[in-house]
Chains A and B, each alone.
Chain A
């Protein structure tokens, strides 16, 4: 399992990629695999605020509902609308299927999250 080395990861299985003061957020391949066939994604509106460790949306597979937790605090600058009509893209490419882009309140905040190696270890221990 390859988790991109330039992403950071949460214990709730979200990833974030930081470029300057922008964070791009999605769920990990491990998360999509646990959920199964994803059929529904509910995301916040552009301009709304998200808070670190707080729910910002929902992802649903045929059999389960899962809340999405924001890895960082900030303001939503873009939402991936493709996922509303094609949520199954998360199953086929979780690390490429971003959900929201956020203008970071504190660009250093993501540094405290898990690295790819740490996350891989975390997933191995959790299962």
Chain B
């Protein structure tokens, strides 16, 4: 009984007293804003980079576009995202004081490199015969892509893309480095306010977990929907 009371006192202090839950909620808001903006930007950049990279496919020789895409992917994957964030905040976008915007752009550019590989792999996984059949009927390359290859590639792309979004949500936990009050940072600050590390940190972890669990379920539903044409 006493143990329960003690636990409850901690929970009360960490989340309910003085409406502290609002602080976590605001933190979660920052986390989700950055993650969603970055995901949208990442998909746009990633798709563009994927097609730039694919421009080299037919003859095997690299093109100017595919070279640029490769350099971009190399740089992004070859450096830690914390450093990318610090460089953007203190150097490249120094004059921009909107932390959420800077973080969104940074993570969007970062995620774009990974999305590019996901999109490219998804397109390449569609059997070459599908393209050949389309072209042999007189459809041009764009029509074949649009009506035949991309709808099939989308099914390949969706699961790893969902995974990428999940990684992105958790990766935003480093925005505290540029003084953004996201979920991780506010719960970390709360530990020193309360002299209790356990409750706020476990609480924040639970919030991340629930958000991602919900997302996983939604993605699973969407995936099953898309697979319908495979089985009847």
Partners in one complex: no
